[in-house]
């Protein structure tokens, strides 16, 4: 429980007392010790409950692989834009949502396989003896633990605790959620291994792995997680460039299950290799698709012309007919092939121009080589346009920066502009070549017209057939070239160091960090509490504070009454507390002598508020005078809240009030005590007008009568900070003692005391510092040599009980 015995920092000091503050803070060492024990206990519990976190990584290289089958005839070029662009593109792809969705879906990482550890569930992927083959087109119980207990090697039991009337289902085929009704009880049912489970909330087949080990009687857990949430976790894969080479990438992940990390890292690289190779093959695939669609039409035309030629040759001497126009046929055939090649190029350019102007997806463009175009500028620009279009579409899933998309768009627009200019110039040249070929064909056809009619007809049919056959053969050759290129393409991505379980590095939990944090918090929290107490507390803590607040002399310091008896001096005459009161007696005698007071001497004891030990000090100061064989009397003048009767176990109801109202004489109100030479006059019944009684002439008579009878008169008065009675009694006292209690009396009260002394309302005032303990806690020793302990010199003089040695005592001895 918080003990408000603390210290004040913010005062009107001329200099900051750092040593005093440090001593005050150290005095709360028990708080710090308890706080550190709690903090380290929590850190230990956290450390032993946390799963180990491993860091896995794989190393890949990016090297642009050239195809050995690329020739000037194939011209199937696919360029990612150089190694630098490849590295940036691959980094983006690896962290893209679309790529990670493919990997998660392939590995089915949205399914958790768990076992119960010592403190919590543990991810046991790769170590459980089974796997579940789910029906992705049907709903599975979402985000709920499904317990699987193997009754035998081939029989297992499903336990699902349903708490509500409905549960959520997730359909992984559509990545959608739905609900189904259930009974709010625990579902338990047995199935055979390999048996199809078809329930409204569960659809799977449980299969046993190869080499499963002993698993009969064991319990496992399966959980179906949100697909998008799972992808988001794995999207955070770290991709970094190696310092030794910009084309080397390090892929790293952290997690609690090494087998899961290893499989994911290797699978994501394999998926990337497939994607990159598919990108390389995209040009070839586009070309093959274009050629296949063209071959279908050409095959039909070739078949028709073949039938025509066959029909014409029927019932005719074909050798005689052909003999007359063989040379002309070969000549026209060469012109027709040349014309077809030019026409195909023009058609390709027209199609390419229309595609560039009307489309935004350029990934389906066929290779220029299908039309016989071998211009390296056009082929390279088309391949770059396909690459940029493919990368842009992939980054749409992972990158949200408009600037990056604008950069891609600007690059593609620049390529489009170049291509459109190339098309214009190339078409102009082709149109000129086409006019020349047409002229040559016209000249050759004029020669044919001079031949017989049957020869003209045969030449016409053969001309059409040979042209179709030549085109068909050319396209077949181009298709074979594309297939060869596609088959011989190699991925630019290669494994250098695949991830393996044996290469995992333990990266957590950071037990040392937790303990350091526990040490920091274990000290900081109690320190803040102590400083807060110091800030809000405005009570007097030590004699140094008191001397800085007031010029009134301090004539004694009284320790804490640990014995629990009010007659401390009488009951424990050799105690340190008794010595403190004897020291005050000596100081009072010096004051009386200094003031030249002779005969009977009066002493008024007051304080700021109730509870500061005013009555306790009155009793024991009176006792030390009485034990010195001086006739002493304590007069209870606290007419509002009397306590002397309780302190001396007196039951009489008569006292000062009875004397002041002329009801009883002095002898009738005087009570003897067990202390020799000490009498007590109680306050009597509580009057309705205490202040008026104190101001009466009877009070003056009482004091005069007491002076004739006693050597020392101790006036126990009410608190001066609450009522004015003590101020009225000040005229009857030779010395006034103002009781200040440590950690109780407020500093504002000392200011009020200074004002009253300055005004003359209190005369010959001195201060007694009461309730003092633990000099380290309050930052000051007694200051005047008083107190209740004299170190090692007190041995044999003071009757103090031996106490158990504390840590502070032990540290002090070590220091000495």
What is the DSSP code string of 108-145? Answer: TTTEEEEEE-SSSEEE-TTTSSEEEEE-TTS-EEBS--
* Number of neighbouring beta carbons within 10 Å of residue 75: 25
Q: Contact at 8 Å (CB) between 178 and 203?
A: no
Distance CA 808, CA 788 (A): 18
CA-CA-CA-CA torsion for 238, 243, 249, 250, nearest 10 degrees?
Answer: -50
Structure tokens given for 432: 């000129």
Q: Contact at 8 Å (CB) between 699 and 660?
A: yes
Distances (CA, A) of 710 to 657, 680, 782: 20, 12, 33
Q: Contact at 8 Å (CB) between 181 and 166?
A: yes
Distance CA 285, CA 516 (A): 61
Query: Which 3 state secondary structure label does DSSP give 547?
Result: helix
- Please write down the long-range contacts of 781-784, taking CB distance under 8 Å and 24 or more positions apart: 782/543, 782/557, 783/542, 783/543, 783/544, 783/547, 783/554, 783/557, 784/543, 784/554, 784/556, 784/557
Distances (CA, A) of 330 to 337, 382, 467: 11, 36, 11
Low pLDDT (below 50) residues in the chain: 1-14, 68-83, 317-321, 324, 398, 776, 779-797, 801-805, 816
Q: In whole angstroms, what separates CA 600 from the centre of its chain?
A: 77
Q: What is the gyration radius of the CA atoms in the chain, in angstroms?
A: 54
Distance CA 550, CA 499 (A): 78
Q: Contact at 8 Å (CB) between 742 and 769?
A: yes
**Which class is domain 543-775?**
alpha beta
Distance CA 457, CA 9 (A): 122
Q: Which of 733, 731, 700 is nearest to 714 (CA)?
A: 733
Task: Note the pLDDT of residue 652.
Answer: 78
Distance CA 183, CA 160 (A): 11
Distance CA 347, CA 357 (A): 15
For β-strands 670-672 and 765-772, DSSP reports them as unpaired
Query: Which 3 state secondary structure label does DSSP give 630?
Result: coil
Distance CA 651, CA 404 (A): 98
Q: What are phi and psi of 188, to 5 degrees?
A: -135, 125
Sign of CA pseudo-dihedral 83, 88, 94, 97: negative
Distance CA 713, CA 580 (A): 20
Task: Note the pLDDT of residue 36.
Answer: 94
Task: Note the pLDDT of residue 538.
Answer: 79
Helices (H) and strands (E) in the chain, counts: 25, 25
Distance CA 263, CA 253 (A): 11
For β-strands 155-161 and 146-150, DSSP reports them as antiparallel
Q: Cis bond leading into 330, ω under 30°?
A: no
Q: What are phi and psi of 144, to 5 degrees?
A: -135, 135
The residues that bridge with 240 in the sheet, in sequence order, are 250
Q: Which of 82, 51, 78 is nearest to 67 (CA)?
A: 78
Q: Contact at 8 Å (CB) between 26 and 551?
A: no
Q: Contact at 8 Å (CB) between 614 and 716?
A: yes
Task: Note the pLDDT of residue 106.
Answer: 93
Q: Contact at 8 Å (CB) between 488 and 69?
A: yes
Distances (CA, A) of 192 to 73, 147, 189, 509: 62, 15, 10, 40
Distance CA 415, CA 767 (A): 98
CA-CA-CA-CA torsion for 612, 616, 622, 625, nearest 10 degrees?
Answer: -90
Alpha helices by DSSP H, listed for 561-677, are 568-571, 576-594, 614-627, 644-647, 656-660, 666-669
Q: What are phi and psi of 196, to 5 degrees?
A: -70, 120
Q: Which of 3, 182, 5 is nearest to 744 (CA)?
A: 5
* Number of neighbouring beta carbons within 10 Å of residue 478: 24
Distances (CA, A) of 234 to 27, 90, 94, 231, 267: 53, 16, 10, 5, 12
**Domain positions in the chain:** 22-50+509-536, 54-274, 283-497, 543-775
Structure tokens given for 430: 């082709």
Residues 6+ apart with CB under 8 A from 402: none
Distances (CA, A) of 36 to 41, 44, 512, 517, 810: 8, 12, 15, 11, 20
Task: Note the pLDDT of residue 762.
Answer: 82
* Number of neighbouring beta carbons within 10 Å of residue 456: 16
Distance CA 399, CA 393 (A): 10
Residues 6+ apart with CB under 8 A from 303: none
Distance CA 569, CA 620 (A): 6
Q: Contact at 8 Å (CB) between 120 and 126?
A: no
For β-strands 632-636 and 765-772, DSSP reports them as unpaired
Length of the chain: 816
Q: Which of 604, 641, 616 is nearest to 722 (CA)?
A: 641
Q: In whole angstroms, what separates CA 594 from the centre of its chain?
A: 72
Distances (CA, A) of 603 to 335, 618, 722, 765, 787: 143, 9, 20, 10, 22
């Amino acid at each position: 429980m918080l003990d408000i015995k603390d210290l004040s920092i913010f005062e009107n000091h001329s200099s900051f007392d750092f040593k005093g503050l440090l001593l005050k803070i150290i005095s709360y060492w028990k708080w710090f010790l308890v706080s550190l024990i709690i903090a380290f206990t929590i850190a230990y519990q956290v450390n032993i409950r946390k799963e180990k976190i491993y860091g896995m990584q794989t190393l890949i290289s990016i090297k642009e692989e050239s195809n050995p089958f690329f020739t000037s005839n194939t011209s199937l070029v696919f360029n990612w834009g150089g190694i630098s662009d490849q590295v940036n593109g691959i980094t983006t792809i690896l962290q893209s949502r679309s790529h990670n969705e493919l990997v998660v879906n392939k590995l089915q990482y949205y399914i958790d396989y768990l076992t119960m550890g010592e403190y919590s569930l543990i991810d046991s992927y790769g170590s459980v003896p089974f796997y579940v083959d789910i029906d992705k087109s049907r709903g599975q119980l979402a985000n709920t633990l499904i317990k699987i207990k193997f009754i035998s090697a081939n029989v297992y039991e499903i336990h699902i605790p349903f708490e509500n009337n409905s549960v959520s289902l997730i359909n992984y085929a559509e990545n959608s959620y739905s609900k189904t009704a259930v009974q709010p009880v625990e579902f338990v049912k047995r199935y055979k291994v390999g048996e199809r489970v078809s329930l409204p909330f569960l659809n799977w087949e449980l299969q046993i792995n190869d080499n499963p080990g002993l698993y009969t009687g064991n319990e496992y857990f399966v959980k179906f997680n949100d697909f998008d949430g799972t992808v988001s976790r794995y999207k955070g894969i770290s991709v970094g460039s190696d310092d030794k080479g910009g084309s080397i990438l390090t892929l790293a992940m952290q997690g609690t299950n090494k087998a899961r990390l290893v499989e994911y890292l290797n699978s994501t690289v394999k998926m990337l290799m497939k994607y990159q190779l598919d990108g390389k093959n995209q040009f070839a695939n586009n070309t093959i698709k274009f050629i296949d669609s063209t071959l279908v039409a050409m095959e039909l035309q070739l078949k028709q012309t073949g039938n025509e030629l066959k029909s014409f040759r029927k019932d005719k001497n074909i050798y005689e007919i052909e003999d007359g126009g063989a040379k002309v046929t070969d000549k026209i055939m060469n012109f027709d092939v040349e014309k077809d090649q030019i026409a195909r190029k023009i058609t390709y350019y027209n199609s390419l121009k229309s595609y560039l102007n009307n489309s935004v997806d350029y990934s389906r463009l066929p290779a220029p080589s299908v039309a016989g175009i071998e211009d390296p500028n056009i082929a390279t620009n088309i391949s770059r346009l396909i690459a940029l279009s493919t990368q842009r579409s992939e980054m749409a899933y992972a990158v949200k920066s408009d600037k990056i998309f604008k950069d891609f768009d600007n690059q593609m627009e620049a390529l489009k502009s170049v291509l459109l200019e190339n098309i214009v110039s190339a078409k102009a040249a082709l149109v000129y070549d086409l006019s020349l070929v047409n002229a040559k064909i016209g000249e050759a056809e004029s020669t044919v017209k001079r031949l017989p009619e049957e020869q003209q007809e045969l030449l016409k049919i053969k001309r059409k057939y040979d042209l179709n056959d030549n085109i068909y053969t050319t396209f077949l050759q181009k298709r074979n070239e594309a297939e060869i290129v596609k088959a011989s393409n190699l991925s630019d991505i290669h494994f250098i160091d695949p991830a393996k379980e044996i290469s995992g590095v333990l990266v957590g939990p950071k037990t040392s960090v937790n303990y350091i944090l526990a040490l920091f918090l274990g000290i900081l929290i109690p320190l803040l509490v102590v400083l807060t107490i110091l800030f809000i507390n405005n009570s007097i803590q030590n004699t140094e504070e008191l001397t800085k607040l007031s010029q009134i002399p301090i004539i004694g310091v009284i320790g804490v009454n640990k014995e629990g008896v009010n007659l401390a001096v009488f009951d424990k005459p050799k105690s340190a507390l008794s010595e403190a009161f004897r020291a005050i007696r000596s100081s009072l005698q010096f004051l009386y002598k200094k003031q030249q007071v002779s005969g009977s001497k009066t002493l008024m004891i007051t304080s700021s508020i109730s509870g500061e030990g005013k009555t306790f000090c009155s009793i024991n100061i009176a006792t030390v005078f009485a034990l010195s064989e001086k006739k002493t009397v304590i007069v209870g003048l606290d007419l509002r809240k009397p306590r002397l009767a309780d302190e001396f176990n007196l039951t009489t109801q008569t006292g000062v009030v009875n004397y002041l109202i002329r009801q009883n004489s002095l002898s009738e109100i005087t009570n003897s005590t067990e202390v020799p030479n000490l009498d007590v006059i109680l306050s009597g019944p509580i009057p309705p007008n205490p202040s008026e009684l104190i101001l009466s002439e009877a009070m003056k008579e009482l004091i005069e009568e007491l002076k004739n009878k006693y050597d020392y008169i101790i006036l126990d008065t009410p608190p001066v900070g609450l009522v004015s009675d003590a101020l009225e009694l000040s005229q009857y006292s030779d010395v006034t003692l103002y009781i200040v209690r440590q950690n109780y009396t407020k500093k504002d009260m000392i200011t009020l005391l200074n004002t009253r002394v300055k005004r003359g309302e209190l005369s010959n005032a001195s201060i007694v510092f009461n309730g003092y303990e633990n000099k380290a806690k309050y930052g000051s020793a007694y200051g005047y040599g008083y107190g209740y302990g004299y170190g090692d010199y007190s041995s044999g003089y003071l009757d103090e009980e031996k106490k158990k040695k504390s840590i502070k005592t032990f540290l002090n001895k070590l220091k000495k």
